[in-house]
Structure 1
Amino acid sequence: MRHTLPIAPQFYVTAPQPCPYLEGRMERKLFTALQGEGADQLNNSLSQQGFRRSQNVLYRPSCTDCAACLSARIDVSAFRPSKSQKRAARKNDYLKRRANSPWATDEQYDLFRHYLDTRHADGGMADMDVFEFAAMIEETPIRSRVVEYADPETDTLIAVSLTDVLDDGLSMVYSFFNPELPQSSLGTYMILDHIDIAREAGLPYVYLGYWVPGSPKMGYKARFSGLEAYIQGAWTRVGNPSDLTDSTHHPLSTAPIAEQVASIQLPDRHPTKKG
């Protein structure tokens, strides 16, 4: 008997492991493979439902005793830069932007290692070698770009963002920069520049990944106006970030896995052709 792969994506759950954002808590992820002819459609659909891409996997937090981790995006039409963000833009407007196909280079990896060793030496990516880095950059079944920012005089690489191009926006998969330039606010600048790129391309959103209210590592995301968070199945405009506390996301609000999977809207694999 010949067996065929299932048409619908199959969802799985990771084993619990220590949360990298909130001390004393455990994280768990719901995930599915991103592959085949429908990869772009699936990525677009699930990104709009709070999922994120890591190489050929789409995942979303599904913790049993916490729901503090929220997918975040910026509504480009509602964004208004603050005074500090305007200063960050001015400090870095000398940088040369270049968008390339997803191909890893030694210069990127050197900057990546310097960034991790300085900023995230105890993080989950701290031991990533050059081959794993190349896989992170290059193993993408969808439309991705490596957006580099370089000093135009020396051509020295200053910052990098691995960015996916979605139907409704840009998704900043992973970003890193020269940690010896803290006063330049390079992380903020890259988000500001992606907002400009999205606006120029007519794309309504910039996806920032996950945001954990109360986590110092994630605090910078709350400083962007027009911020939306994916809460209980819907994108919600964030007013005062301090209102989004753990009491707002009681652990009992986390639905069982089977119920979560059943509520996921999958793309139509055979859309009706327009006449």
Structure 2
Amino acid sequence: MSSLKTLVFFATPAHECSYLDDRDATTMFVDPRAKVDKRLYSQLTALGFRRSGSHYYRPHCEHCNACIPVRLNVQEFSPDRSQRRVQRRNNDLTFHYAPARFSETYYDLYARYIEQRHADGDMYPPSREQFASFLVEGATESYFLEMRKGNDLIGLAVVDALDDGLSAIYTVFEPREVSRSLGTMAVLWQIDEARRQNLPYLYLGYWISECRKMNYKTRFRPIEALLNGHWQRLPVPSGTNSSD
């Protein structure tokens, strides 16, 4: 089994940034031949790495530090007024953990989400192979969180288990149910699940202050950011009331 001391890393050539216009990006990857178990995955996550399928990566851009790893201290979290509304809006749903696997039901939801919500992104057009390589392959302890209205699957979140928390990998939802804010609801459920397991953190990936799609992450507080190699609590923005 690999360890931090034995890992080999590779960097991609500069390529167009997926989040910020007119910028190039470079990504650092763990050698895909490495054997990454839960312990090593947890260590990598604490160092700012993320999982995409069987790949473990983090931004490694020479002149840009816009992508900031963030995590939530779940024991200290209290939902604000908007988040409580989301919980009430979805109190008719049921939530279930399921093994991370391919199914046509899961894929149909994923395809509708990508086609209607991200047709301008690099994941379009969706494919079964893409679904499997992105959401099923790779993790040692990965689960699908099913969000159902009656028997209908309307949301699906990929959740990884770590030694010190959970990692929110990706969420898709039924485009017709956009008013439910299921992305937010999935995070709220994972916060509660981390508490049930007595885990301290929910890792939320990267926050980019200049990217509107990433702004939702800092609405969950207290949020911590990995800055200069240390996890630090981000201050509440001026004019924000954390209890609203």
- What is the TM-score with the length of structure 2 in the denominator? 0.91
Helix, strand or coil at the partner of 1:22: coil
Identify if the C-alpha distance between structure 1 residues 118 and 38 changes in structure 2 by more than 3 Å, giving closer, same or farther. Answer: closer
| Structure 2 unaligned regions, length at least 5 | 239-244
Shift of 1:182: 2.1
Q: Which residue of 2 aligns with 1:146?
A: 144
1:238 Cα deviation after fit: 1.0
CA displacement at 1:135 relative to structure 2: 2.4
Q: Deviation digits for residues 50-82 of structure 1, max 9, x if unmatched?
A: 100112211111111110111111100221111
Q: 1:54 — aligned with what?
A: 52
Q: Which runs of 4+ in 1 moved over 3 A?
A: 33-38
State yes or no: 1:239 paired with 2:235: yes
Q: CA deviation at 1:36?
A: 5.9
Q: Indicate yes or no: 2:207 matched with 1:230.
A: no
User: 2 CA distance for matches of 1:44 and 1:173?
Assistant: 14
Counterpart-to-counterpart distance in 2, 1:36 and 1:9: 7
Report the CA distance between 1:214 and its aligned residue: 2.1
Higher strand share: 2
Aligned residues: 236
For 2:133 and 2:62, the matched residues in 1 are separated by 30
- Per the alignment, residue 71 of structure 1 pairs with 69
Partner of 2:121: 123
Identify the residue that residue 152 of structure 2 maps to in structure 1: 156
Report the aligned-residue RMSD: 1.8
Q: Is the 8 A contact 2:110 2:173 kept in 1?
A: yes
User: Which residue identity does 1:191 align to in structure 2?
Assistant: V
CA displacement, residues 107-134 of structure 1 (integer Å, 9 cap, x when unaligned): 1111111111121111111123112212
Is residue 2:214 matched to residue 1:218?
Answer: yes
Matches within 5 A, 1:76-225: 76-152=74-150, 155-225=151-221
Q: Any gaps of 5 or more consecutive residues in structure 1? A: 243-275
CA drift at 1:35: 5.8
Identity of aligned residues (%): 37
- Equivalent position SS for 1:148: strand
1:200-236 deviation line (CA, Å, top 9, x unaligned): 1101111111110121111111111111111110111
- Which residue pairs with 1:269 in the alignment? none
The answer to whether the 8 A contact 1:34-1:43 is kept is no
CA contact (8 A) 2:52 2:135 kept: no
Q: Larger radius of gyration, structure 1 or 2?
A: 1
The letter of the residue matching 2:215 is G
Partners of 1:117 and 1:62 in 2: how far apart? Answer: 30
Residue 29 of structure 2 corresponds to residue 31 of structure 1:
yes
After the TM superposition, which of the residue ranges 224-233 and 122-131 deviates more from structure 2?
122-131
Instruction: Determine the C-alpha separation between the residues in 1 that align with 2:116 and 2:235.
Output: 33
> Which piece of structure 1 moves more, 33-42 or 166-175?
33-42
